[in-house]
Amino acid sequence: MNILLIGDDSRLVNAIIIKLNKSNHRIYWLTGQKKKKIARAHVFETYNFSYTDSNVKDIIESVRPDAVLFTGAYDTGFDWKYNGQAEALRYTTAMVNILSSYSMFSSGKFIYLSSQEVFDGSYADDISEETAVAARGFKAPAVSQGEALCSNYREIQGVNTIILRLDHIYHIPERGQSDGDPCFEMCLKALKTGKISASGKKKFSMLYLNDAVELIYKVIEKKDTDYSCYHISSMEAITEIQLAEIIKRKMGGNITLVDHSAGENQRKILDGHRFQNEFGQKIFHHYEDGVGKIVQFMKMHSETFLKDNEAGGNWKGKAWHNIKVIFKTLLPFIESLICFALFFFLNEQTVGSLYFNKLDFYLLYVLLFAIVHGQQQAIFSALLAILGYCFQQSYLRSGYEVLLDYNTYVWMAQLFIVGMAVGYMRDHLRHVREDNDEEVRHLYEKIEGISEINNSNVRMKQNFEAQLVNQKDSLGKIYEITSQLEQYGSEEVLFYAARVVGQLMNSRDVAVYLVVNDDYARLYSATSADARKLGSSIRYTDMEEMYNDLREGRVYINKTMAEHMPLMASAMASEGKLQLILMLWGIPWQRMTLAETNRLKIIGTLIQSASIRASRYLESLRHERYIEGTNILNETAFTNLVIAFFKAKHENLTECALLEIQTTYEDLARAADILGSYIRTTDYLGILENGKLYVLLSNTNEANVTGVIERFRLAGYESLLREADV
């Protein structure tokens, strides 16, 4: 295949080139650097053009690539640290130019590399591809804007764009080059200070560069993909403390680990199951291996990562650093001595020369060092020049005569005046340039701070606007959506309540628990597998923090981000007793606010009203729904109930099972009395049109039916698992 790789020279680009070359693909490379001429082995053609250059269209037309891979969030050609605002504009412009040029000649796929940076904040569960991005700063919004452009070109112009979000890539760095991954930062801190500060409350996952390249190649290689967005992640959770312990163990020496675990838990891990299910993946470099390689490399080349004012971690590092500082300080003086010997020789050789007699080599020597090194070296070189001049004059006359000659002092004054003047100008210009650079960095830092404040204000403004207009946060909209429950039958209200709560609270993980006594609650409906993680039956009184809030009528908020607890929960009570519990997962921490708790409280109250109306309606018809003198639902009532349960099961809102009891019609009442003690209050007995007795087991899947069948058999009744079509 012809593959166009877009991105500045980096470890990632180099690894991709090596992989593509081994797989016998023809590689074309657009570097994005117009001035810097970059060449690389195994690349068929290198294009050193800016991304915004009009020649990008001609390049794509000439190459006609089967696949384009844009490194995007990992493109080192963008300076996000000190020039974020300008780079964000340049990045977006580059994306528009590249995508518009590619869309004219697209015949393959356009792969865009994004990162976990587009998600800001903490997430209790792994972040899926459907989760809305929440970007802050300069880089993350620009990268997410690139994702949006890819999606727009895919939907509007039919361009086959694929977004790959990579989760915390870490790799062996370039010598002396800084990197932003957590492993590099901790290793550098250990080399500088001999200490590593880490928190046990920050949890994330990392993916080694070589593994990431192998997984990216799977997407390049596959002709058609099922989705347009994938998360590539090792999904191996690790805390800062655990990472620091690995670095400490691998680095050895007197490294001190400082635990500053404070505040709330912070968790951000991409969910890579979609990619794993479609492409399959195997992680070759786990943390012990990958982190060990980085530690070994940085330890071996520590001098390239430490600055002059950084002494290293132990006495050996400090001694070596001091030697380097002394050598660097003496180097200009050594250079001056070497050059002095050269100019001394030239001056001796040109004495009496017809052409060079008027040329003052000592003056040139002083001027050269004043320009290169400044005023200090100008004085030192002038002193050496004077010594050399006096020594050469001693060949022709005595030292006393040299000292009495006023021309000697004029010449000395000339050396010092020229040298010190030029050196002063050189030092002054250097100080002005450093001051300007420092001011620019300071201004960029202020811009970043102002931008963050502005982003926060904009989000607050948008939230208030959304509440003022008739959006989902307004009371009118909430009532409108909860009123949809009235269209469902009396048996279906609580099934679809979970879906309504998820829609209003913008959460795909919602569970509705029905309180069955003072200690236990049964799962009635849920919108996802994650929402069922607590199980079909819970002893809610053991969840002390949540139970205390619900008992006092407050909305529970999982402030510690405990994984075994919902992020938010609210209960509906009647006559002083809890009746219904709503539980939510998958909510970003920044949305766990007072406004959200008030909204959940209102939603719960409206759902409770709909549920109470349905319960009262069913109670009023009790004599019409049950066979007289028994707890057996009649054919009409039980049929409606079975249909409601299995319809909700088909829509993944609940689980249920239907058992047919082997008994005669005359024995129905006796069988119901016996079996009634073996079922839960949330299970139902009834008959269908064939006149046989059935048991509807709520929140029970087919795998758990075996135990119930055995209990019924011991009670003297055989039973069979039946399908919904009965």
When comparing pLDDT for 295 and 593, which is higher?
295
Q: Check residue 618 and give its pLDDT.
A: 44
| C-alpha torsion sign, points 330, 336, 337, 339 | positive
pLDDT digits (tens, 9 = 90+) for 535-550: 888 888 888 888 888 8
Highest mean pLDDT among 94-98, 344-348, 525-529: 94-98
Q: Check residue 675 and give its pLDDT.
A: 84
- CATH no. for residue 22? 3.40.50.720
Residue 465 domain-assigned (yes or no): no
- Cβ 280 vs Cβ 338: under 8 Å: no
Last residue of a domain, one of 141, 166, 191: 166
Q: Check residue 473 and give its pLDDT.
A: 47
Residue 367 domain-assigned (yes or no): yes
> Taking 50 as the threshold, does the pLDDT of residue 286 lie above it?
yes
In this structure, the answer to whether residues 589 and 631 fall within a common structural domain is no
Burial class (CB in 10 A: 0-12, 13-18, 19+), 286: middle
- CATH no. for residue 685? 3.30.70.270
In this structure, the answer to whether residues 573 and 519 fall within a common structural domain is yes
In this structure, the answer to whether residues 413 and 543 fall within a common structural domain is no
In this structure, the answer to whether residues 524 and 638 fall within a common structural domain is no
Give the pLDDT band (50/70/90) at residue 463.
Answer: low
Q: Can you tell me the mean pLDDT for 141-159?
A: 92
Highest mean pLDDT among 143-152, 305-314, 432-441, 518-527: 143-152
Give the pLDDT band (50/70/90) at residue 318.
Answer: low
pLDDT digits (tens, 9 = 90+) for 6-32: 999 889 999 999 999 999 999 999 998
Q: Can you tell me the mean pLDDT for 414-429?
A: 88
Give the pLDDT band (50/70/90) at residue 620.
Answer: very low
- CATH no. for residue 544? 3.30.450.40
In this structure, the answer to whether residues 157 and 77 fall within a common structural domain is yes
3-state secondary structure of 344: helix
In this structure, the answer to whether residues 505 and 594 fall within a common structural domain is yes
Q: Can you tell me the mean pLDDT for 199-226?
A: 92
H/E run at residue 559 = none
Last residue of a domain, one of 618, 640, 673: 618
Strand-strand pairing, 67-70 and 109-115:
parallel
In this structure, the answer to whether residues 115 and 71 fall within a common structural domain is yes
In this structure, the answer to whether residues 598 and 531 fall within a common structural domain is yes
Q: Can you tell me the mean pLDDT for 337-351?
A: 82
Residue 456 domain-assigned (yes or no): no
Give the sheet arrangement for strand 45-47, strand by strand: 45-47, 26-30, 2-6, 67-70, 109-115, 161-166, 229-232
When comparing pLDDT for 707 and 155, which is higher?
155
Q: Check residue 307 and give its pLDDT.
A: 63
Proportion of the chain above pLDDT 70, given as a percent: 87
> Taking 90 as the threshold, does the pLDDT of residue 147 lie above it?
yes
Phi, psi of 558 (to 5 degrees): -80, 80
Residue 480 domain-assigned (yes or no): yes
In this structure, the answer to whether residues 14 and 149 fall within a common structural domain is yes
> Taking 80 as the threshold, does the pLDDT of residue 680 lie above it?
no
> Taking 80 as the threshold, does the pLDDT of residue 447 lie above it?
no
In this structure, the answer to whether residues 556 and 418 fall within a common structural domain is no
Give the pLDDT band (50/70/90) at residue 573.
Answer: confident
Residue 298's Cα: distance from chain center in Å?
25
Q: Check residue 492 and give its pLDDT.
A: 63
Mean pLDDT of the chain: 82
* Cross-strand bridge partners of residue 696: 658, 684
Give the pLDDT band (50/70/90) at residue 726.
Answer: very low
In this structure, the answer to whether residues 612 and 632 fall within a common structural domain is no
In this structure, the answer to whether residues 675 and 581 fall within a common structural domain is no
Angle, alpha carbons 306-255-235 (nearest 5°): 90
Q: Can you tell me the mean pLDDT for 355-382?
A: 84
Total count of domains within the chain: 4
Q: Can you tell me the mean pLDDT for 430-456?
A: 76
Q: Check residue 170 and give its pLDDT.
A: 93
Residue 542 domain-assigned (yes or no): yes
Full residue range of the structural domain in which residue 681 is found:
623-722
Residue 373 domain-assigned (yes or no): yes
Give the pLDDT band (50/70/90) at residue 578.
Answer: confident
Give the pLDDT band (50/70/90) at residue 113.
Answer: very high
pLDDT digits (tens, 9 = 90+) for 172-183: 988 877 777 889
Q: Can you tell me the mean pLDDT for 637-657?
A: 81
| Beta carbons within 8 Å of 501's beta carbon, 6+ residues apart | 507, 510, 512, 582, 584, 600, 603, 604, 607
Give the pLDDT band (50/70/90) at residue 321.
Answer: low
Nearest Cα residue to 244 out of 284, 203, 199: 199
Residue 42 domain-assigned (yes or no): yes
Last residue of a domain, one of 406, 435, 464: 435
| Residue 509 DSSP class | E
Q: Can you tell me the mean pLDDT for 390-413?
A: 76
When comparing pLDDT for 346 and 3, which is higher?
3
Residue 247 domain-assigned (yes or no): no
H/E run at residue 39 = none
> Taking 50 as the threshold, does the pLDDT of residue 95 lie above it?
yes
